């Protein structure tokens, strides 16, 4: 089997899966984001070795050319290694490119964090999610809502596994010890519960001078100190738009590693961010979050009371001040479980991958000469998200991974809770 990734968030969320698969997995870095700090810092902090294969960074060009370059390079790696299964995570260009390369070679694709939908086609990540959703043979969904979205799009229920989100165990594993967290706060001159932590990096918030200026101004007026680890995109746009004076009213700091960010988030009173990952992490850290976006693919954070979705503008300040003034909010969130799982998602995914790879012996052949995934025994998803692994037994009926008809996609309706679901179509041994 192979695990492909290309960005820091993917490394964080796949760390438990990569560790669990151990020497059996070929780890491939796509070249999307790679530097010495990543290799020597993030990977070491996660307890991960350097990737077995590290592709060259795509030449800076239009996104279509970058994607084409990654797909071609990954296809050559997979053609040589012939893994039975390629694991991808999330909605990055790396995940989308790896899914395409594997699919074109007839190699099975397992998508971790499947089924998220923002319904905003202006987001590149939304297009990636939908493309991967079409190509994947196995969908590991974090929530019941994500499973319902996939079923509404025509994905067969027996391809969907409710595993939970690997972010829960990633945060638990990466959060520094109390003494280290206290040292981080002292280093930045902060007191626990006495500041707001903000992150801003999405193009929808940084590519408009008016929007970025309003956002920085609203943060500066909140009252408590606002710590802003400054993404390179945000710093460059602030300089271009003449907004550096707005940054001076905030505690703008250099970008920090994941563990340091978690320490700062854990000590904060309120989070403000346009990040998708922070919407998940806040539910593990039990911190309130203002999501500065017009849409989200993680509505569970809002439904459970951890987050509020606010469009960039004056509403940001109003919502943030309301959260800061709510004296009972911290206690309510402390008693609220994360909607993204119980911290065992990586274990479930590893067990599923191992069983799928070992299930049915040599793979079949597709008409194009590629490897066709063999169908495994059923693995029902329980209401808690756990996927028990029974002894393998042949699945009755035809082979849904070969020459399967394109399902009709029903009109979008309110998602219904997923029923107990058998195992998805899967690849066979490496």
Q: Which two tokens stand for residue 267?
A: 């000590």
Q: Give CA–CA dist 352/276, Å, rounded.
A: 26
Do 165 and 342 touch, CB atoms closer than 8 A? no
Do 105 and 132 touch, CB atoms closer than 8 A? no
Closest-CA residue to 341 (of 146, 152, 157, 151) = 146
Backbone dihedral angles phi then psi of residue 44, each to the nearest 5 degrees = -65, -40
Q: Which two tokens stand for residue 74?
A: 């990954």
Do 147 and 408 touch, CB atoms closer than 8 A? no
Residues 52, 188, 201, 231: which is the catalytic one?
201
Q: Where are the beta strands (DSSP E) in 236-383?
A: 251-253, 270-273, 289-292, 307-310, 364-365, 371-372
Backbone dihedral angles phi then psi of residue 338, each to the nearest 5 degrees = -65, 135
Alpha helices in 82-113 (DSSP H): 93-104
Q: Give CA–CA dist 250/248, Å, rounded.
A: 5
29 is catalytic: no
* Phi-psi sector, 288: left (phi>0), alpha (psi -120 to 50), beta: beta
Closest-CA residue to 119 (of 319, 303, 294) = 294
Around 429, how many Cα atoms within 13 Å sit in the side-chain half-sphere? 5
Q: Which two tokens stand for residue 244?
A: 């550096």
Compute the residue count for the chain: 430
Q: What is the dihedral of CA 25, 30, 34, 40, to 10 degrees?
A: 10
How would you classify the pairing of strands 371-372 and 364-365? antiparallel
Residues marked active site are found at: 201
């Amino acid at each position: 089997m192979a695990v492909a990734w290309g960005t820091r968030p993917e490394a964080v969320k796949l760390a438990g899966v990569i560790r669990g698969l151990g020497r059996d997995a070929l780890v491939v870095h796509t070249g999307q984001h790679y530097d010495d700090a990543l290799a020597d810092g993030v990977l070491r902090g996660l307890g991960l070795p350097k990737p077995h294969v590290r592709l060259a960074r795509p030449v800076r060009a239009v996104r279509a050319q970058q994607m084409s370059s990654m797909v071609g390079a990954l296809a050559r790696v997979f053609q040589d290694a012939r893994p039975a299964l390629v694991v991808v995570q999330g909605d990055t260009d790396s995940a989308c490119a790896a899914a395409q390369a594997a699919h074109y070679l007839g190699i099975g694709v397992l998508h971790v964090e499947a089924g998220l939908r923002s319904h905003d086609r202006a987001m590149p990540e939304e297009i990636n999610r939908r493309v991967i959703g079409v190509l994947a043979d196995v969908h590991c969904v974090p929530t019941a809502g994500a499973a319902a979205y996939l079923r509404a799009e025509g994905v067969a229920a027996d391809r969907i596994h409710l595993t939970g989100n690997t972010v829960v165990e990633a945060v638990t594993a990466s959060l520094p010890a109390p003494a280290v967290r206290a040292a981080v706060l002292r280093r930045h001159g902060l007191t626990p519960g006495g500041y707001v932590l903000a992150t801003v990096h999405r193009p929808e918030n940084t590519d408009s001078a008016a929007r970025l200026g309003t956002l920085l101004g609203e943060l500066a007026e909140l009252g408590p100190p606002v710590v802003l680890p400054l993404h390179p995109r945000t710093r460059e746009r602030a300089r271009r738009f003449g907004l550096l004076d707005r940054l001076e009213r905030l505690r703008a700091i250099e970008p920090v590693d994941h563990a340091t960010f978690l320490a700062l988030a854990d000590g904060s009173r309120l989070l403000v961010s346009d990040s998708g990952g922070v919407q998940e992490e806040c539910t593990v850290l039990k911190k309130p979050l203002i999501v500065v976006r017009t849409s989200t693919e993680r509505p569970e954070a809002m439904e459970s009371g951890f987050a509020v979705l606010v469009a960039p503008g004056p509403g940001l300040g109003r919502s943030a001040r309301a959260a800061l003034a709510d004296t009972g909010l911290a206690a309510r969130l402390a008693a609220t479980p994360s909607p993204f799982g119980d911290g065992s998602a990586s274990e479930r995914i590893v067990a599923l991958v191992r069983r799928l790879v070992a299930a049915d012996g040599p793979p079949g052949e597709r008409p194009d000469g590629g490897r066709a995934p063999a169908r495994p025994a059923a693995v029902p998803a329980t209401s808690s998200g756990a996927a028990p692994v029974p002894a393998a037994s042949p699945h009755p009926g035809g082979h849904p991974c070969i020459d399967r008809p394109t399902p009709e996609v029903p009109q979008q309706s309110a998602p219904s809770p997923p029923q107990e679901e058998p195992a998805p179509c899967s690849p066979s041994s490496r």
